[in-house]
Amino acid sequence: MLTSSCPSIDRKKKKERSMYSKILSESRQNELLVLYDIIQKKQTLQTLSENLTIPSRTVKSYLQKINLEIEESFHFQTFIQANSKGEYTINPSFSEKKLLIYYQLKLNYLKKSPYFILLVLLTTNYQLTVTEATNELFVTSSYLSRIIKTLNEKLIVFDFQITKENSCLLLTGNELAIRTFSFLFLGDAFQSLEWPFKEFTKEELRQQLPQDILKDSAKRSDTKKIYSIFYLLS
């Protein structure tokens, strides 16, 4: 269950160090943080501005973008509303669906990122040809190389890398680290909305992980799990 308090985190510094700072633009990250803050409790432009360390005018722009995105994607009008005191809340008509919409919007944003798409392809397939990767991502081979270089700079701390062998891309390194990464990263991104693996279920992947990792994940509050979209790989 969601708690009403936010974790004590220096968001700006964490975002700069996280892999999601590469996968999602800063604007997209901030939009999701704004939405989640309002889902937790009512906010004003000032509190949101202070939380994100950005101008109130920029926050207002994010609020407009979020409502527009949600209306276009889910046909919900005025998902975020403001009262006469200038307090922003989730429209009561959508209160039961607010977290579902948050997760789905997050996934929609991620699916537009070539960095995320490549990670999904490589964690759900043993290997991928360079041609398949460029076709799936709609990028040139040179841009694909840049994406791989950027991701590898973050993945190195997990003891595995994206490597190219005989014109094929694959994840190489610590097998347990790869499975753990797949479970935590993709589980956080896809939630229960869908599951990207065709060969096995989420539960089957869970059974391959050490129990101490699963217990540690279970102990974290829902609030921290939601914020892990930005901080998981910091």
**Residue ranges per structural domain of the chain:** 13-111, 114-229
Q: What's the whole-model pTM score? A: 0.79
Read off the pLDDT of residues 96-125 as tens digits, 9 standing for 90 and up: 999 999 999 999 999 999 999 999 999 888
CA 57 to mean position of chain CA atoms: 25
**Angle at 119 (CA atoms; ends 113, 124), nearest 5 degrees:** 125
Q: Is the pLDDT of residue 153 over 80?
A: yes
Closest CA to 206 of 221, 193, 217: 217
Domains 13-111 and 114-229 share a fold: yes
pLDDT level of residue 224 (50, 70, 90 thresholds): very low
Give the count of beta carbons closer than 10 Å to the beta carbon of residue 95.
11
Q: State which fold the 13-111 domain adopts.
A: Arc Repressor Mutant, subunit A (1.10.10)
Mean per-residue pLDDT over the chain, rounded: 82
Mean pLDDT of 42-51: 95
Helix (H) or strand (E) holding 77: none
Q: 214 near 202, Cβ under 8 Å?
A: no
When pLDDT is cut at 50, 70 and 90, the band that residue 182 belongs to is: confident
Q: How far apart are CA 142 and CA 206, in angstroms?
A: 36
Q: In this predicted structure, which of 39-43, 184-188, 193-197 has the lowest mean pLDDT?
A: 193-197
User: Does the pLDDT of residue 21 top 90, yes or no?
Assistant: no
CATH T-level topology, domain 114-229:
Arc Repressor Mutant, subunit A (1.10.10)
